[in-house]
Structure 1
Amino acid sequence: MNCWLDKHSRLRSTGILGAFFACICLWLSFGLASATAAAKEPGPVISLVVDGRGVESDVLPLVRNGRMLVPIRVIAEATGAQIEYDAKKQRVTFDQKGKHVSLDINSRLAYVNGERVTLETPPIIVNQRTLVPLRFVSESLGYQVEWDATSSVAFVQTKPVEDRAVTVKESANPYVVQPNDTLGEIAERHGTTRSAIRENNYLSSEKLMIGQILFLPHEAKKAEHPLASKVQDKRLLSKDYWFPFNNASWYEPYGDSFGSDREWTESQSGSVRSHEGIDIMAPKGTPIYSVSDGTINRVGWNTYGGWRINITDKNGQFRMYYAHLSAYAPGLRVGGTVKAGQLIGFVGDTGYGGPGTVGMFAPHLHFGMYRNDNGRVVDPFDYLRYWEQNKVVSLFA
């Protein structure tokens, strides 16, 4: 079997790390909406990702000049910092973990341990709360912050990224395992070695399965049974398509669950239906990316798929279906366009009921593909295995 994940990868707790993040969630409940909130969203929206997990909130953060603002008093008090406010000077100071921070309202100048720092956006007072740029607060506390302007989502990293999903180094020559194939025979026929194939594919053993995809190393001959001869549309086997998770996201190894039985139906008649996609199990809040350029044709609640989004690919050939999301990235709407590798939502456990139904199954991404001309469902498994070698690079890689 292919070891698609680094052997050291493991599922970690998704709890909020420290009061820093709890206070952000508190602030989000204060009702400070960003400019993007003016347009009605199709469902829950997440604008903040902390250590690779989306942080849910009731409202969108306040964004000014492209910068997210958070209330410094809530942050400081929630993290146990000593805070003081000089109303006459309109100056806020706080001390935490050996750091002394001082900043003035409506001034872009701040001081950290006596060293002057220029803020990207000045602190402001809204509803008697002092708000400062998230980047300044995070970096003052030793965190990393990145802003994804395309998706209008802020990313905060409090620790080194440790989990890495392994990708094949040489993926241009995929071979489909045939009946009675052995690794040695495949290597001999293609002018390479067993060890080279094992190393390139991270194989833990030489046991093969019919239909398994092996990526032959660069010195090998052209695959006798290439993946392009198996799939319906070889145009999708290109670097223009991306895997729906980034290279730092943890997810379980997945199999071809297409066509398997599913017992839950809207009518609850006890009938069995066929599964029209591939399920990839991952922690709730894991970011999901569009596999292709395309146009959104449906977004919102579906009885089976929960919060879902349908995107017609740029060639107009296929509709990509992402289901069971916990939330969307901001600003998605029917008719809107997305780019391959753009953040569109977050893993969840929604669906199998009316709007808001959760918990009917473990969190995962259901990914489906349908032909756009006749609506027929397509097994996306082989495409996903190919795209798995082309992932969005984490902002903190």
Structure 2
Amino acid sequence: MNSCLHENSSLLWTKVLGAFFLCLGLSVTGANRAGAAEPGPVISLVIDGKGISTDVQPIRENGRMLVPIRVVAESTGANVTYETANRQVTVTEKGKRIVLLVDSRTAFVDGKRVTMDAPAMIVNQRTVVPIRFVSEALGYQVVWDERAGVAQVQTKPVEDKAAVIQEASNPYVVQAGDTLTGIAERHHTTVQALKKNNYLSSDELTVQQLLFLPEGSKKSEHPLSTVGDSRLYDDSFYFPFSEATWYEPYGDSYGSDREWTESNSGNVRSHEGIDIMAPKGTPVYAVTDGTINRVGWNTYGGWRVNITDRAGRYRMYYAHLSAYAPGLAIGDTIRAGQLIGFVGDTGYGGTGTVGMFEPHLHFGLYKNSDGLAIDPYFYLRYWEQNKVESPFS
């Protein structure tokens, strides 16, 4: 596109502006290591809850991060005009008009002169402008996630897409022969209250399904402590998706057959985790505090990251990612609720293989002592009631 930028030309892009960048007027610290090699694709920008891949990797210059404006224009419908003769950038969207002059901190918002913290400039034959200034001038919200090294832009009100259980302190594990009527009668509640609290659309139950008894119910006859390790049923653990994330209802897919193998021998292997279907680019968060013990490409898991919990008992496996948050490396300390990557469809082949299945997060749980897989279904259902809050709520 550079060949089009000749003297006295005026170019107009609608939604697409491949040759422009935004300069993030925020300090780059913490998770970003200068010069460190990334383990795979990296996403540094989230718009309206979706990680946005850029055709050019973000540039760090004097403590600032530069990211393509093209993705913002595509996501918001903004129109951008660049006039080479006077080196002027004009951004219009929803009645707002912003004019910026290259190499100048002066800008005009709806005709009013203002001074920016950082000037528009040319970097590597690209024009860059401050993302915070432009976003806020257009009425967007901007948050810098320092821990993850990711900028988040919200152009519209956040919708809570999660079905939140109102009362989750009294879990019940469904037993063989159970019915909603029987469970309700034995726990001094009603079928209607059970269905409402658990967002059930039918009366059908499956063995070992997890229910949450409504407020005022009798103490559960079959609590979660009868299944698995009670130490994992703790409020310090987070669900890997945020409260504003849409994802499909998931079942217990642990142990199901998987036909694809690295050797293509036709052998069937056992699925060692839970698949949660979600749109590509959905942010993925760390379930617990821990340390990265593996990160990078895996033939089965694609771009994946393994995190050993702080106590050294378990390893959490996040697979099929489309990209990572910046700066992840083996040995890094990760905090519960930290953004670590983005949902994708990578894996089942050599490095970079995509499209072998629909986008989803594969979450696996392993004992650190012997590497044996554990069914994480019940833990995920419990952690589902504890999600990272949207910074724009």
- Tell me the TM-score normalized by structure 1: 0.84
1:23 to 13, 17, 31: 17
Alpha-carbon distance in structure 1 between the residues aligned to 2:41 and 2:341: 10
Alpha-carbon distance in structure 2 between the residues aligned to 1:204 and 1:333: 44
Alignment-derived partner of residue 209 in structure 1: 206
Alignment-derived partner of residue 164 in structure 2: 167
Alignment-derived partner of residue 56 in structure 1: 53
Alpha-carbon distance in structure 2 between the residues aligned to 1:79 and 1:351: 35
* Secondary structure of 1:119's aligned partner: strand
Deviations 1:305-337 (A, max 9, x none): 111100001111100001111111101000001
- Contact kept? 2:48, 2:156, Cα under 8 Å: yes
Letter in 2 for 1:23: L
- Tell me the TM-score normalized by structure 2: 0.85
Alignment-derived partner of residue 14 in structure 1: none
Q: 1:92 to 1:52 in 2, by over 3 A?
A: same
Tell me, which stretches of 5 or more residues in structure 1 are unaligned? 1-17, 29-33
2:383 to 371, 383, 387: 387
* Secondary structure of 2:128's aligned partner: strand
Alpha-carbon distance in structure 2 between the residues aligned to 1:191 and 1:318: 37
Deviations 1:189-236 (A, max 9, x none): 2233333222211122222222111111232222111012112x1111
Alpha-carbon distance in structure 1 between the residues aligned to 2:216 and 2:122: 63
Alpha-carbon distance in structure 2 between the residues aligned to 1:58 and 1:289: 24
Moved more, 371-380 or 177-186: 177-186
Count of aligned pairs? 370
Letter in 2 for 1:199: K
Pair 1:250-2:246 in alignment: yes
Pair 1:152-2:149 in alignment: yes
Pair 1:196-2:193 in alignment: yes
Tell me, which stretches of 5 or more residues in structure 2 are unaligned? 1-12, 23-27
Alpha-carbon distance in structure 1 between the residues aligned to 2:73 and 2:265: 54
Pair 1:136-2:133 in alignment: yes
Letter in 2 for 1:389: Q
Alignment-derived partner of residue 36 in structure 2: 39
1:187 to 165, 179, 184: 184
- TM superposition shift of 1:41: 0.4
1:328 to 298, 314, 324: 324
Instruction: Give the ranges of 4+ consecutive aligned residues of structure 1 lying more than 6 Å apart after TM superposition.
Output: 71-78
Alpha-carbon distance in structure 2 between the residues aligned to 1:250 and 1:74: 21
Give the structure with the higher percent strand.
2
Alignment-derived partner of residue 127 in structure 1: 124
Alpha-carbon distance in structure 2 between the residues aligned to 1:250 and 1:242: 16
Moved more, 356-365 or 378-387: 356-365
What is the identity percentage for the equivalent residue pairs of Structure 1 and Structure 2? 64
- Contact kept? 2:20, 2:69, Cα under 8 Å: no
Letter in 2 for 1:251: Y
Q: CA RMSD in A?
A: 2.8
Moved more, 62-71 or 195-204: 62-71
Letter in 1 for 2:254: F
Q: 1:234 to 1:103 in 2, by over 3 A?
A: same
- Contact kept? 2:174, 2:207, Cα under 8 Å: yes
* Secondary structure of 1:169's aligned partner: coil
